[in-house]
């Protein structure tokens, strides 16, 4: 009775007790282990969603219930709790989380940093936020040793070439596997907004990649997107950026109209003198008389603008600057982002949306993207967790041709057509042509009705700017994915997780060529359209066991994975269009229609076992068995494995007295993986192509010879390394050696043409990559209001052919031979210019009477006689790396990211074409031509001008150049405002910043963008853009 009465009294008094409770204001400063304020640290009232973040100086103020408990946390630091106290400032010092306990996202899960025995590089969320990077690949480039990223060209939205630890295949894909939130990603990396990324893990050795088996031989990049945090208030982040872009590096210089005209006259004169035997006077007169006939256009308006002595005596009516006409002087960029995140006691959420539009180097080039992502995680009860990740993006990319040798390639046009030829059509007398409406027209150089100013001798029936303005090359991408999981705690030591991933991508490649002007004018225009659907379904079932007993920790994973990719292709093309009709249905002459459905399936059984003794000794073994539909039943299944171990020496008692040694780890791993990517869907089957007729009979045709025993490429990876932290965390670093050999390479082996096929896809040869990687980071200065930290990473890499089925064979500018690199140049060697006659010379082997090389070299002026030699120069750099620094002073912060490459060479075919010496009329030239040979005895490396067929600028070491460069990839300068005046507006943070991308490039060879193809060949590519942007980030 007494107990019931007590409860009744308490119940009656409870409302008054609650009403009587008061809120208090708690304030203070949060410091790090060095006594420096921690901006952005989180303070939460335990058991509620009430929370705040510290300002730039680490200050915080929070209103909480009297007697509440506060939790203080920051990324990378141990959380602390304290009782709320309003009487005195509540200052807290957070200590770094034990580095050994730091969690890293790896294959099919996560591991503590100490337990990783392989090579894993991590770019954390704080690293990404601190870096001045605007794309995922930019965040990686220069930040991780052993990765070579090449952005070939200035077309925004284009995926770069990525290689991890060298090139592991010749014919199959050498690109790394991309994993986004645990599932293989087949979309465009540019569809992922960089601001939605939480962390990036780069897996480089067998121990870290072996669980991906047949897809991990070339390394793995794991992208982990942002998610919310439980028991935190809802946060809103707004980010907006506006920028202006132009070329990051200058193009090759070009001749002006006067120089071009005089030089061509000289080339014509030399032909008459040295080939036709005329005197100098007669040759000069002949050149003056035939100049306009040879060039077909006359901007000077008189019959002989150059006299017999080579003097220009007229003024040009036009001097076309093709570069200014075709390229953007100012390309604009804008980007807007919104994210909302937070969480309750059981559920966390993140919603992010991003809009981006940026223009490219060539006019009408642009990339426009909208990307959104929703991440939800919830704890259903004490033993069930679930989550859903949904993403959607759509993009448009208009990209006029900016590489290759097509007439419509804007960059080739600039380098080919001299300023001597007009942008707009001209009458025979040089005046502007106007149509019936009084409008000018682009000059396509195909007006056969005019002898002068009618037909251009080079790239006729095209106009560089006309191709950009009148034609369309539009790529539309739509990408959607759903990734859901259910995790069940079966026992305290045993968890089951089911993960289902669905991905749908649509790529629409639309091309329109004008009905009246240009390449398709003869067929009244052309429309072609390819629409490709890619659907991926990936199911992963995982059992995880983890148990610790005394000093032993044992973990085991059993995984079953089912992967299916379906490709549905449809294409059509037609001609015969009316003006302004640009759809397939408008074609009056259908040309072609096609389509196919292809499927790929992989079934995998995976296991991983790891053991840890006393946080000193670690061992890990993994095994994966893959079955792929790309191979026959006899060769379909592949077994892949890895093993490794590590020793944390700093945890041994004998290191206790080494005060400057904080952490020291030795590690080793070895494994064998497979590769079956980018070899087709059924390369082992003798298939037939349909759609062929024999008279009135519908038939098929055999498409290729096949090897029914075709099987996996195999890659063996060996890794040794060390990780260390010294002097109370002031210096951190790692050093690693790797060796990676790929055997049974899948390659198109040449066949005798008498077989009816040029090649057969089979397993031949082996290549080896090896190198050593270094990474160092240091906190140089850390004072009250001033910090400076520096980081540098670099790697030395080698590539070598270790096995071929034949002694050697030529591949373009390379010769593949055992012991040599895939990328070592094998071309003719220039011997300079003969001072007596100005002709180009090359070296050739001196032969004995028996026809064998004597070991000596002699010169020849016959290019066909010249011998090809190994140049001992490779297109692969000897060292690549990056440098980064972060500086903060009071409310100001600055970040710099650089990347560099040294030791590679490239063959500049663009420069070679500009040094042609006027062999053909209507071709542009480089100002260096002024150094040409003119008289006997002249010593120069530029041959005489000669307007007839010659090999002076043929492929040789004359145009082989060093390609060293250092690029300031990103620079970010920001200012964070104090919170005092923002509190009235409930603003948690405000930062204004200036961002620079590709601001400076220091390069050994001018006139090109130094990031060329791995083959080391220029190909009339547009340049990357230098962008200066102003941005604002608002936190609510």
Q: Is residue 44 part of a domain?
A: yes
pLDDT reported for residue 130: 63
SS3 934: coil
**Rounded mean pLDDT, 162-178:** 82
- Report how many helices (DSSP H) and strands (DSSP E) the chain contains, helices first: 10, 53
CA-only gyration radius of the chain, Å: 34
CB 746 within 8 A of CB 713: yes
Q: Per-residue pLDDT for 805 more than 90?
A: no
- Pick the residue with more confidence: 980 or 722? 722
Q: Per-residue pLDDT for 56 more than 70?
A: no
pLDDT reported for residue 49: 65
Q: CB-based contacts of 286: which residues, under 8 Å, 6+ apart?
A: 268, 269, 272, 278
pLDDT band at 989 (very low <50, low <70, confident <90, very high): confident
Q: Is residue 52 part of a domain?
A: yes
Counting beta carbons within 10 angstroms of the beta carbon of residue 947, is it exposed (0 to 12), middle (13 to 18) or buried (19 or more)? buried
CB 150 within 8 A of CB 158: no
Average pLDDT taken over every residue of the chain = 88
Q: Is residue 365 part of a domain?
A: no
Q: Per-residue pLDDT for 559 more than 90?
A: yes
Helix (H) or strand (E) holding 937: none
| Residue after which a domain boundary falls, among 69, 96, 123 | 96
For 215-259, the pLDDT digits (tens) are 788 888 888 888 888 888 888 999 999 999 999 999 999 999 999
- Pick the residue with more confidence: 728 or 965? 965
Q: CB-based contacts of 661: which residues, under 8 Å, 6+ apart?
A: 650, 655, 724, 726
What tokens were used for 779?
Answer: 């906190």
List the CATH number of the domain containing 48.
2.60.40.1120
What tokens were used for 345?
Answer: 């006691």
Q: Please name every residue paired with 575 in a beta bridge, in sequence order, or none if there are none.
A: 526, 589
Q: Per-residue pLDDT for 901 more than 60?
A: yes
Q: CB-based contacts of 836: which residues, under 8 Å, 6+ apart?
A: 936, 937
Q: Per-residue pLDDT for 308 more than 90?
A: yes
- Pick the residue with more confidence: 79 or 570? 570
The count of domains in the chain is 2
Most confident of 116-130, 702-716, 749-763: 702-716
What tokens were used for 877?
Answer: 């750099």
Q: Per-residue pLDDT for 19 more than 50?
A: no
Query: What is the C-alpha separation between 570 and 967, in angstroms, rounded?
Result: 42
| Residue after which a domain boundary falls, among 78, 96, 114 | 96
| DSSP letter string, 491-556 | ETTEEEEEEEEEEEEEEEEEEEE-SSSSTTGGGT-EEEEEEEEEEEEEEEEEEEEEEEETTEEEEE
For 463-508, the pLDDT digits (tens) are 999 999 999 999 999 999 999 999 999 998 999 999 999 999 999 9
- Pick the residue with more confidence: 166 or 570? 570
For 861-878, the pLDDT digits (tens) are 999 999 999 999 999 999
Q: Is residue 417 part of a domain?
A: yes
- Pick the residue with more confidence: 834 or 758? 834
User: Buried b / exposed e across 826-852, counting CB within 10 Å, b at 16+?
Assistant: bbbbbbebbeeebbbbbbbbeeeeeee
Q: Per-residue pLDDT for 807 more than 50?
A: yes
What tokens were used for 147?
Answer: 């990765």
Q: Is residue 872 part of a domain?
A: no
| Among 199, 166, 106, residue whose Cα is nearest residue 642 | 106
pLDDT band at 106 (very low <50, low <70, confident <90, very high): low
For 643-676, the pLDDT digits (tens) are 999 999 988 888 888 889 888 999 999 998 888 8
pLDDT band at 982 (very low <50, low <70, confident <90, very high): confident
Q: Is residue 231 part of a domain?
A: no
| DSSP letter string, 757-801 | -SEEEEE--EEEEEEEEEEEEEEEEE-SSEEEEEEEEEEEEEEEE
pLDDT reported for residue 148: 83
Phi then psi dihedrals of residue 650, to 5 deg? -65, -15
Counting beta carbons within 10 angstroms of the beta carbon of residue 909, is it exposed (0 to 12), middle (13 to 18) or buried (19 or more)? middle
Query: What is the C-alpha separation between 850 and 853, in angstroms, rounded?
Result: 9
Q: Which of 101-105, 701-705, 821-825, 881-885 has the lowest mean pLDDT?
A: 101-105
Tell me the residue range of the domain where 420 lies. Answer: 401-470
Query: What is the C-alpha separation between 243 and 369, in angstroms, rounded?
Result: 16
Query: What is the C-alpha separation between 822 and 810, in angstroms, rounded?
Result: 11
Most confident of 53-57, 611-615, 686-690: 611-615
Q: Is residue 38 part of a domain?
A: yes
| Residue after which a domain boundary falls, among 77, 96, 115 | 96
Helix (H) or strand (E) holding 854: strand 853-860
Alpha helices in 21-112 (DSSP H): none
Query: What is the C-alpha separation between 761 and 745, in angstroms, rounded?
Result: 10
**Rounded mean pLDDT, 754-776:** 85
What percentage of the chain reaches a pLDDT higher than 70?
Answer: 94
Query: What is the C-alpha separation between 608 and 586, in angstroms, rounded?
Result: 59
**Rounded mean pLDDT, 166-176:** 80
**Rounded mean pLDDT, 155-167:** 85
pLDDT band at 15 (very low <50, low <70, confident <90, very high): very low
For 251-283, the pLDDT digits (tens) are 999 999 999 999 999 999 999 999 999 999 999
Q: Beta-carbon neighbour count of residue 709 at 10 Å?
A: 12
């Amino acid at each position: 009775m007494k107990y019931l009465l007590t409860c009744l009294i308490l119940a009656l008094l409870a409302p008054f007790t609650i009403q009587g409770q008061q809120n208090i204001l708690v304030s203070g400063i949060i410091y790090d282990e060095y006594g420096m304020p921690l901006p952005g640290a989180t303070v939460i009232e335990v058991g509620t969603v009430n929370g705040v973040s510290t300002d730039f100086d680490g200050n915080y103020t929070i209103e909480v219930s009297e007697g509440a408990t506060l939790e203080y946390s920051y990324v990378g630091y141990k959380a602390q709790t304290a009782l709320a106290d309003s009487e005195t400032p509540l200052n807290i010092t957070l200590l770094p989380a034990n580095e050994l306990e730091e969690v890293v996202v790896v294959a099919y899960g996560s591991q503590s940093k100490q337990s990783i025995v392989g090579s894993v590089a991590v770019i954390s969320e704080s690293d990404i936020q601190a870096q001045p990077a605007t794309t995922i690949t930019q965040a990686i480039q220069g930040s991780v040793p052993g990765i070579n990223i090449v952005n070939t060209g200035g077309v925004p939205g284009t995926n770069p070439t990525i290689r991890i630890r060298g090139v592991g295949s010749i014919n199959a894909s050498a690109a790394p596997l991309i994993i986004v939130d645990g599932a293989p990603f087949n979309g465009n990396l540019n569809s992922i907004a960089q601001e939605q990324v939480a962390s990036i893990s780069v897996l480089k050795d067998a121990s870290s990649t072996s669980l991906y088996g047949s897809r991990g031989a070339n390394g793995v990049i794991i992208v982990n997107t942002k998610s919310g945090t439980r028991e935190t208030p809802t946060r809103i982040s707004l980010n907006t950026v506006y920028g202006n872009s132009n070329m990051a590096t200058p193009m090759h210089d070009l001749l002006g109209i006067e120089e071009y005209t005089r030089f061509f006259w000289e080339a014509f004169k030399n032909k008459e003198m040295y080939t036709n035997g005329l005197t100098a006077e007669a040759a000069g007169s002949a050149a003056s008389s035939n100049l306009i006939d040879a060039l077909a256009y006359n901007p000077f308006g008189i019959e002989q603008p150059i006299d017999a002595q080579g003097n220009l005596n007229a003024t040009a009516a036009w001097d076309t600057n093709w570069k200014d006409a075709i390229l953007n002087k100012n390309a604009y960029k804008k980007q807007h982002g919104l994210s909302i995140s937070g969480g309750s006691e059981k559920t966390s959420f993140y919603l992010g949306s991003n809009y981006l539009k940026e223009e490219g180097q060539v006019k009408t080039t642009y990339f426009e993207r909208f990307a959104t992502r929703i991440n939800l995680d919830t704890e259903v009860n004490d033993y069930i967790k679930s989550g859903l990740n949904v993403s959607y993006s759509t993009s448009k990319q208009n990209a006029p041709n900016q590489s290759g040798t097509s007439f419509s390639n804007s960059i080739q046009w600039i380098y080919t057509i001299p300023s001597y030829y007009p942008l707009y059509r001209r009458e025979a007398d040089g005046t502007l042509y106007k149509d019936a409406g009084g409008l000018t027209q682009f000059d396509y150089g195909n007006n056969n009705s005019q002898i002068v100013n009618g037909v251009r001798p080079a790239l006729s029936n095209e106009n560089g700017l006309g191709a950009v303005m009148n034609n369309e090359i539009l790529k539309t991408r739509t990408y959607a994915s759903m990734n859901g999981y259910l995790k069940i705690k079966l026992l305290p030591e045993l968890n089951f997780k089911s993960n289902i991933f669905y991905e749908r991508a649509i790529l629409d490649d639309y091309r329109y060529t004008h009905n009246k002007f240009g390449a398709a004018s003869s067929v009244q225009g052309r429309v072609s359209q390819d629409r490709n659907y890619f659907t991926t379904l990936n199911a992963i079932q995982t059992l995880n066991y983890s148990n610790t007993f005394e000093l032993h920790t044992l973990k085991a994973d059993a995984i079953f994975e089912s992967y299916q990719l379906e490709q549905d292709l449809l294409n059509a093309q037609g001609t015969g269009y009316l003006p302004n009709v640009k759809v397939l249905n408008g074609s009056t002459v259908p040309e072609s229609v096609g389509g196919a459905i292809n499927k790929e399936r992989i079934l995998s059984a995976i296991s991983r076992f790891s053991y840890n003794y006393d946080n000193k000794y670690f061992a890990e073994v993994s095994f994966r068995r893959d079955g792929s539909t790309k191979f026959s039943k006899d060769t379909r299944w592949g077994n892949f494995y890895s093993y490794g171990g590590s020793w944390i020496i700093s945890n041994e008692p004998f290191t206790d007295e080494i005060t400057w040694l904080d952490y020291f780890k030795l590690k080793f791993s070895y494994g064998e993986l497979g590769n079956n990517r980018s070899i087709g869907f059924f390369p082992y089957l003798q298939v037939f192509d349909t759609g062929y007729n024999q008279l009135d009979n519908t038939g098929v045709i055999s498409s290729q010879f096949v090897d029914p025993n075709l099987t996996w490429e195999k890659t063996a990876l060996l890794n040794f390394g060390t990780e260390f932290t010294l002097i109370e965390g002031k210096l951190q670093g790692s050093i690693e050696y790797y060796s990676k050999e790929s055997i049974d390479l899948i390659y198109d082996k040449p066949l005798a043409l008498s077989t009816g096929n040029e090649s057969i896809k089979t397993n031949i040869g082996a290549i080896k990559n090896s190198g050593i990687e270094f990474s160092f980071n240091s906190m140089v200065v850390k004072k009250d209001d001033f910090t400076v930290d520096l980081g540098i990473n670099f790697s030395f890499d080698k590539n070598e052919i270790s096995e071929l089925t034949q002694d050697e064979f030529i591949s373009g500018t390379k010769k593949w031979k055992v012991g040599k690199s895939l990328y070592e140049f094998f071309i003719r060697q220039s011997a300079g210019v003969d001072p007596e006659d100005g002709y180009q010379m090359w070296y050739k082997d001196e032969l004995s009477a028996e026809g064998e090389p004597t070991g000596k070299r002699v010169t020849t002026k016959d290019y066909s006689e010249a011998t090809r030699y190994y140049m001992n120069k490779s297109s692969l750099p000897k060292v690549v790396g990056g440098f980064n620094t972060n500086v903060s002073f009071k409310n100001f912060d600055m970040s710099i990211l650089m990347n560099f490459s040294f030791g590679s060479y490239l063959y500049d075919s663009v420069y070679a074409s500009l040094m042609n010496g006027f062999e053909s009329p209507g071709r542009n030239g480089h100002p260096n031509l002024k150094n040409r040979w003119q008289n006997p005895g002249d010593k120069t490396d530029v041959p005489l001008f000669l307007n007839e067929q010659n090999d002076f600028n043929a492929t040789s070491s004359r145009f082989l150049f060093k390609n060293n460069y250092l690029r300031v990839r990103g620079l970010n300068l920001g200012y964070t405002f104090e919170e005092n005046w923002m509190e009235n507006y409930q603003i948690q943070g405000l930062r204004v910043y200036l961002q620079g991308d590709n601001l400076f490039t220091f390069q050994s060879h001018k006139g090109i963008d130094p990031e060329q193809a791995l083959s080391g060949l220029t190909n009339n590519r547009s340049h990357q853009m230098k962008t200066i942007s102003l941005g604002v980030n608002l936190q609510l």
